[in-house]
């Protein structure tokens, strides 16, 4: 695993989603095969939370949906990441983002943001 992979996880778990995106994007650019889609799923995840916290509920829904479609191919774990746990949390966050997008009011609950757990 690349240092950028772990740097992205560290940034994500600190709530620095833009920085996590940057680290994983550097990996994604050069990746091939199944790892490429996995990195892209992590990028979608980070961008989704960036949007959610900035009130762009439509963007959050779009990014969470893309992330989930890709991550479900990597269950229950991949590259040491507990993808099962991440998918479960993302599904809950998508549900909240959909409600917000449809006008339930309020802001995204940052306490729902999962950590990425390594096995």
pLDDT range class, residue 15, cuts 50, 70, 90 = very high
Bridge partners of 81, per DSSP, are 78, 118
- Average pLDDT along the chain: 95
Is residue 26 over pLDDT 80?
A: yes
pLDDT in tens, 27-55: 999 999 999 999 999 999 999 999 999 99
For residue 81, the SS3 value is: strand
What CATH fold (topology level) applies to the domain 3-112? Hyaluronidase domain-like (1.10.3450)
- Percent of the chain at pLDDT > 70 equals 99
Residue-wise DSSP of 13-59: HHT-HHHHHHHHHHHHHH--THHHHHHHHHHHHHHHHHHHHTT-HHH
pLDDT range class, residue 104, cuts 50, 70, 90 = confident
Q: What value does the mean pLDDT take over residues 86-110?
A: 93
pTM: 0.94
The pLDDT of residue 1: 64
* Domain boundaries defined on the chain: 3-112
Q: How far is it, in rounded angstroms, from Cα 75 to Cα 34?
A: 13
Locus of tokens 């695993």: 1
């Amino acid at each position: 695993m690349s240092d950028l992979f772990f740097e992205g996880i560290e940034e994500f778990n600190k709530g620095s989603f833009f920085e996590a995106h940057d680290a994983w994007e550097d990996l994604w650019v050069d990746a091939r095969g199944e790892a490429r889609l996995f990195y892209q799923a992590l990028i979608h995840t980070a961008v989704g939370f960036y949007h959610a916290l900035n009130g762009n509920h439509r963007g959050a829904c779009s990014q969470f949906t893309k992330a989930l479609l890709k991550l479900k191919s990597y269950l229950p774990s991949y590259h040491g990441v507990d993808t099962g746990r991440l998918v479960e949390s993302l599904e809950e966050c998508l549900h909240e983002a959909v409600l917000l997008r449809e006008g339930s009011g309020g802001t995204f609950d940052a306490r729902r943001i999962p950590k990425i757990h390594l096995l």
